[in-house]
Structure 1
Amino acid sequence: MNFSIKEIISATMILFAVIDIIGSIPLVISLRKKVGHIQSEKATIVAAGIMIAFLFLGETLLKYLGVDVNSFAVAGALVLLILAMEMILGVDIIKNEEAKSASIVPIAFPLIAGAGTMTTLVSLRAEYEMANIIVAILINCLLVFTVLKSAAWLERKLGSSGLDILRKVFGIILLAIAVKLFSENVQQLFK
């Protein structure tokens, strides 16, 4: 194993930008209001497990299923698009009446360990040592856990009008990420 601080920092920053847990705060708070409780530990552990498993098995699994990375990214972009529309319009598109927690879906997947994160992991694997990527995943999961754990505190500090503004702004940013992910990958499908 060749640990490299430079590779760890680079991979951490790339994953941090893609996961965008800071930008997801309004969505996390909104989900928390809908379902009552988010199990931060469970969401973080599941997301870490999904990312590490996908790092090792992702490309092989997708090939086995007959799905290429671009198709996977387009599907993930559509899920993000729906979540963004909920945030911007203030409507419920995805309804899950029986949900007691949003810890696994949609927080662990697709919000944290979604198509964007998974396609990024496949790309990072081509450039960086596996051990450095795993460390970057773990650092990001620690940051995710901190944000999820402090969601109630953030909600109190921001207030309802602050949350509404933040939700709309980050909804638009999430929509832009979804459109970018969609457009970059849908072009590859038709080549």
Structure 2
Amino acid sequence: MNLVFQEIVTVAMVLFAVIDIVGGVPVIVSLKQKHGKIESEKAAIAACIMLITFLFIGEEMLTVIGIDVYSFAVAGSFVLFFLALEMILGITLYRDEETNSASIVPIAFPLIAGAGTLTTLLSLKAQYQTINILIAIVLNIILVYIVLKSSSKIEKVLGKNGLGIIRKFFGVILLAIAVKLFAGNVKALFV
């Protein structure tokens, strides 16, 4: 167990970009308007449990189906690449089905702990220490909780343009991380 501050910051930034909770504020506000209230505590706790569980048993799940972590990390780098393109270009390549409830399902999954976040976790696990990833998850969930609690205020302060700028900025960071993950793991596939 080796706590490395730089790893925690890097992983936290990656997860922040992938989760994109600030970019999700318009969705959260829309769900709040449709359903009256979002249970921020439930959503944050459920997402945290999902992420931590997947961090610890995701690799075993892959082993059962015969996929190594490096292959998953390379596949994850492609997912991150396309998520980054969505954020930068403002396009939608992947669309979730509409739900009729603002419970844990649309917020905790897939908005917070969606396919991109789960893929990212295992990609990160191939490169960073588990304890640092765990701390980064908890830091992100705390931030998610704060954003969920104050989503209406954030939207008013940043406005549509501010949210767009933040989304594009983290899209570029995510794109660079996708390239790094690909480069760092693709070599292991050919060894």
Please, what TM-score do these two structures have when normalized by structure 2?
0.71
Would the aligned equivalents of 1:87 and 1:168 in 2 still touch at CA under 8 Å? yes
Kindly indicate whether the alpha-carbon contact (under 8 Å) linking 2:85 and 2:175 is maintained by their aligned counterparts in 1.
yes
Equivalent of 1:17, from 13, 35, 39?
13
How far apart in 1 are the matches of 2:112 and 2:91? 18
Root mean square deviation of aligned Cα: 3.4
**Cα pair distance change 1:57/1:166, threshold 3 Å:** closer
Residue segments in structure 2 that go unaligned for 5+ positions in a row: 33-37, 101-105
1:103 aligned partner: 108
State the secondary structure of the residue aligned to 1:116. helix
Query: Cα deviation per residue 1:99-139 (whole Å; 9 max; x = unaligned)?
Result: 4535311421245x4333334346424xx5xxx97566434
Structure 2: how far apart are the matches of 1:97 and 1:48? 22
Quick one: structure 1 residues 173 and 93, their matched pair in 2 at CA, closer, same or farther if it must change by over 3 Å? Answer: same
Q: Which residue of 2 aligns with 1:65?
A: 65
Number of positions where the alignment pairs a residue of Structure 1 with one of Structure 2: 180
Distance 1:163 1:30 in 2: 9
Percentage identity across paired residues of the two chains: 41
List alignment gaps of at least 5 residues for structure 1.
none
Question: How far 1:180 sits from its partner (Å)?
Answer: 2.0
Evaluate the alpha carbon distance shift between residue 60 and residue 91 of structure 1 in structure 2; reply closer, same or farther with a 3 A threshold: closer
CA distance in 2, matches of 1:99, 1:180: 35
- The answer to whether structure 1 residue 36 and structure 2 residue 31 are counterparts is yes
TM-score (norm: length of structure 1): 0.71
Quote the Cα distance in structure 1 between the aligned partners of 2:120 and 2:151.
23
